Chains A and B, each alone.
Chain A
Amino acid sequence: MKKMLIMCGAGHATSTVVRAKVESWLKKEGLINQVSIKQSAIVDEVANISNGNYDIVVSTTVVPKEIKDKVINGVALLTGIGAGKVFNAVKKEIEA
């Protein structure tokens, strides 16, 4: 089971939308049972991400430089522009 974090600024609005998109995609791909999803606000998660507590992190908000390479930019799932790239990146992490 891979641990996925979906986060935004408040942990309410955009992460909720991204979570719904990711969950329906996981179902479609038959991967839903391989991933546990947590939804949260970035302020509560920076330390957890630095410590490597998650296998996959998708963010719709600005992240500090030190964790940038551990985070997938999920804004494409809101705008629809380049959503496929985000799903590919997530898939790569699930299969890693």
Chain B
Amino acid sequence: MFFDRDIMLFHQEAEDSTDIISRMAIRLTEADIVKRDFGKHVLEREATYPTGLQTKALGVAIPHTDSKYVNQSQIAFASLKKPISFKDMTDSDKKVEVSLIFMIAMSKPHDQMTLLSNLMAVFQNENVLIKLLQSDDVAEVKQVLKTNNIE
């Protein structure tokens, strides 16, 4: 259900984190999954409370904001051709070179905790992350996530 609206952008060439966040937020807005100012608030939050995470395999980011800007719980997925810098989740002075972005839109504050935990578990699985990075097919990405109990 988190990926049933197929908001996925593959092998993007992005200028910087603001660029890719904006692209993803626009897709979510166009699909009416989020409210119009969702993107603006994600960018603001990312500046203050960044979401870059260094995993063993590669850098990931999970930009998100308050559930009041969300109509329907959903996650947008993006892979990047070349990694771009995000600030580190616990240290704004550090940078993480990010290749995969999961933009989390939750319509209720504590929605889908199991799903989120499973998503975080995927971050610990190098093979899965690399598969996600290489794919350019919506059905394939969904299948990979489904086998890891994320759907």
Name A's B-contacting residues (CB within 8 A).
Answer: 8-14, 16-17, 20-21, 42, 59-63, 73, 75, 78-81
Contacts and interface: CB of A to CB of B under 8 A. Distances in A.
Interface residues of B, number: 29
A17 B117 contact: yes
B62 A13 contact: yes
A21 B117 contact: yes
22 contacts: A9-B45, A9-B49, A9-B51, A10-B64, A12-B110, A13-B64, A14-B89, A14-B120, A16-B110, A17-B120, A20-B117, A21-B117, A42-B49, A62-B49, A73-B90, A75-B89, A79-B54, A79-B55, A79-B56, A79-B123, A79-B124, A81-B56
Nearest to B125: A80
Contacts of B67: 12
A13 B55 contact: no
Nearest to B106: A12
A81 B88 CA distance: 15
A59 B90 CA distance: 8
Interface in B42-96: 45, 48-51, 53-56, 62, 64-67, 89-92
B1 interface: no
B100 to A, nearest CB: 13
Nearest to B45: A9
A78 B120 contact: yes
A17 B92 CA distance: 21
A12 B89 CA distance: 15
Given A8-B49, A11-B109, A12-B109, A62 B123 contact: no
Contact of A16 (B48, B113, B121): B113
Contacts of B124: 79-81
